[in-house]
Amino acid sequence: MLIGLFCSVLGLALGFYGSEKIFSEKTLPVPAGASEQLQQGIRQAGLPSVATRKLLVPRTEDQWRTAARLHADNQPESIAQLSARLAVDHQPDVMNGVAVHWLQPGTADPDRRLFVYLHDGAYVFGAGEAGISEAVVIAARTGLLTVAIDYRMPPDHPHPAALEDVEAVYRGLLRSRKASQLAMGGTSAGGGLTLAAMHHLKGLGLPLPGALFLGTPWADLSKTGDTLHTLEGVDRILVTYEGLLAEASLLYAAGVDLQDPLLSPVYGDFVGFPPAYLVTGTRDLFLSDTARVHRKFRAAGIEADLNVYEGLSHAEYKFIEGSREHDAIYGELKAFLSRHLR
């Protein structure tokens, strides 16, 4: 898996491995209800070591920058290759002073509907082309013109820089499109930033998008949630909240209270939010975050389509292209957006 490889490279680069075991001795049966591709991935990878992962934490700003470069350099497929394979045209651009990537699928949407993509990466990884592979997939699978926002990140640009960039691009899009023609979303930090952006844009009095995609959203940076404890060492992507995730949240927040709704949007008021399509898995460390977000939508009387997949670790659907899980998630996202964008 890409994240496992990246963490191994990061550990070696920062000198954190020593003699620590890389894999846990804990075992779990492979879930029989998962697709063959997912079962094979689980069987081959095993369960990672929590103790080792907790050591993989950059300690200085330079180490964070090094880690971000390592992440960018360890992508399994270039964007040029992926775009060509999925017949998506990729054009970098600048919009209202913010770097963006336009992704045009082979057939143009006649109704000018558009997907605004916010990338994952714990708010510190995924700059440039390293953060847009899922956006290419979304453009190809939904048929929607997609704009991926290359929002600024720490250590150089902590909160609220990312929200400011989303606002700037969103205002630019509203000059040529109705809000109801726009969808917004992403996975993990991208899902959390999407929800934070809804609080921010609502506070500014701007019309909100027609629909949201919330792939296992990082909706609470304060380490509150049952599965952050119960699924530690079971989620083979994130593994544990302690270490990199906990430190990345502090780096991103830059001293702001972690339960501020613009950082941890689950604590905000969801009244007036657009309908949302949510995805998580039974081995996802952020299962609790996703469940709590779903209940906030339902309590506010807003449609929220929650999809929980057997055996999936955090955001694992992104990496098992061609699997039943991957095809269902992006296929159903297309149908959801078709119903809600006008």
Token pair belonging to 340:
């809600």
Decide if pLDDT at 309 tops 70. Answer: yes
Q: Which residue did the predictor score with more confidence, 107 or 7?
A: 107
Region of poorest pLDDT, from 72-76, 125-129, 212-216, 336-340:
72-76
- Which whole number is the average pLDDT over 163-173? 98
Decide if pLDDT at 24 tops 80. Answer: no
Region of poorest pLDDT, from 79-88, 99-108, 169-178:
99-108
Decide if pLDDT at 18 tops 70. Answer: no
Decide if pLDDT at 23 tops 60. Answer: no
The residue extents of the domains of the chain are 79-340
Q: Specify the fold of 79-340.
A: Rossmann fold (3.40.50)
* 171 closest CA partner among 109, 98, 275: 98
Strand-pair category, 114-118 with 182-187: parallel
Predicted confidence band at 26 (pLDDT cuts at 50, 70, 90)?
Answer: low
User: Mind listing the pLDDT tens digit for each residue in 53-70?
Assistant: 999 899 999 999 999 999
Predicted confidence band at 108 (pLDDT cuts at 50, 70, 90)?
Answer: low
